[in-house]
Chain A
Amino acid sequence: MPDDLADVYRTTYPALVRFLYRKVWDAERAEDLAQEAFSRALAHRPENPRGWLFVVAANMARDEARKAARERRHLTLLAAEPQDHRPSPEEILDDEARRHRVREALDQLTPRDREVLLLWDAGMSYDEIAAQTGLARTAVGTTLARARRRLVEAYGSGSEEPRVARG
């Protein structure tokens, strides 16, 4: 891999996988897509690889969602916990339940709000988000504010008290 792209890989790949993971909810699949995006970047050599990668990844995730009849593998999700902490089985199940609720809450956002929120979370600047989504730069803050509020509200309206949200 050429140096410039190798740098982009180092700085962008984890964020890209995280971004994709919240769209496809399968870590392996998210990595498949991220790898494919980088492979295409290697072939296309775009001027702004970082922005380009997120656009391509978002498109691939959208195509992926259309094929969504695929059966999900919940076990991958089960295994999420900080590594230094050995969770009890109850914690595993709690963790899984919370993850599921976050996913459901994210699903309640409009596609644009969700996209902006996930792009911001992936480390993109307002300028980059504006360029990618076509929003005016001044609208990014407003969109983020709405997306965050809806996410928190949707999560809170679940049946359980959001223990973690109170941290």
Chain B
Amino acid sequence: MSHVDEGTLHAYLDGELPGDERTRLEAHLAECAACRDRLTEERGLIERADRLLTLAALPAGHTLRPAPESVPRPRRRPRFVVPTAWAASIALAFFTGWLLRPGPRSSGYVADEAKIAAAVPADTPGPAPTRDAGGRATLERVPVERRQAAKALPDSAASADLSYSRSETSASVSVTPGVVGNAGRPALRGGAPAPIPPVTVAVTPAPRSPSVNRFAEAGAEPASPRRPIGTTWTAITAEPARKLLGTDVVSIPGIPVRDILQNAQAPGQVMVEQEVADGTIIQLLQSRLDSTPALTASQSAALYANPLQKTVGRLQVRISGPLKTDSLLKLLDLAR
């Protein structure tokens, strides 16, 4: 028998060589050291190729779906939408719209509305953040009449509560602390924005409305990272953050750091925001070792109820973005 071709060797190693051919090949291999070497080589090649294919296997966290019971249509997963998130977003949008509607009303929010308006400088018609039905953080022009009405109110009525230093808006909106929500901020898409002077923006959440999960929109579209309720975050750089924490700031290597923020109420608390993909944000909340947790019980409750969040030791990881919730959860899992 002449030397063996590689196809035959692969068929042999794959256990696919018919009986008579296999017998002949084995007889040849017994006599031919060169072909035995080649067999070893080909075996190594098959193992390497198999390993490479394994690298391109399905994501490990992926759970296969059950068998379809009957014919009708293939089951399709919703591509983006987490129904509850939509419901929550829409509810929030309606509520915010109602809250910001012009004109007097008998609700207890009249005063708040006036204060929101008061804080908007009349000469800089800045947009006020709100939400559209898609759960997207959007900017809405404050009606002129409200801005004018605001002039009548003393400036002290505006009590700034949440702040951050980067924004695409130049508006300044303030809400009284009692109804202050997490800081909403417009999505920063397409390139890092240049630092702009400090801005104060707050979105008023729907109070006493357990069905509205402020964090649930993460499964929908918006890219604006949420901040813990009632806290103020100011942008700092890595060096002061390191001093504040007394240790290095934790971040996930390889992912651009968008912001390093300091909690103004609890100076030992630093939040790193990293943008993984377009609009998908990971927040890493880190506190000084000797500090007490800056979050109140209710804040913690709101945070821990959020599925897109995990706490690892003193590090709290949150994630939001336009991707499917299960993808975000997987990423969150890995971020640990």
Contact = CB atoms under 8 A, between A and B. Distances in A.
Interface string B73-84: 111110000000
A76 B63 CA distance: 12
A111 interface: no
B77 A121 contact: no
Given A89-B335, A90-B253, A148-B45, A32 B59 contact: no
Contacts of B14: 120, 126, 141, 144
A9 B70 CA distance: 13
Q: Of A32, A89, A125, which is in contact with the most chain B CB atoms at under 10 Å from its CB?
A: A89
Contact of B67 (A1, A102, A141, A145): A1
Contacts of B297: none
B301 interface: no
A138 interface: yes
Contacts of B62: 27, 76, 79
Contacts of B57: 18, 21, 80
Interface in B24-80: 42, 45-46, 48-53, 55-62, 64-65, 67-77
Contact of A35 (B6, B61, B65): B65
A42 B331 contact: no
Interface residues of A, number: 67
Contacts of B280: 75
A61 interface: no
A134 interface: no
A89 B253 contact: yes
Contact of A79 (B73, B252, B277, B334): B334
A141 B8 contact: yes
A75 B331 contact: yes
Contacts of A13: 64, 67
Q: Of A13, A144, A165, which is in contact with the most chain B CB atoms at under 10 Å from its CB?
A: A144
A139 B276 CA distance: 45
A83 B45 contact: no
A90 B254 contact: yes
B251 to A, nearest CB: 9
Contacts of A125: 16
B327 interface: yes
A114 to B, nearest CB: 11
Interface string A73-105: 111111111110011011011010011001101
Contacts of B56: 21-22, 99, 102-103, 106
Given A43-B71, A141-B9, 13 more contacts: A22-B56, A39-B72, A75-B277, A79-B331, A80-B61, A81-B60, A82-B60, A93-B254, A126-B14, A141-B10, A148-B10, A152-B48, A165-B48
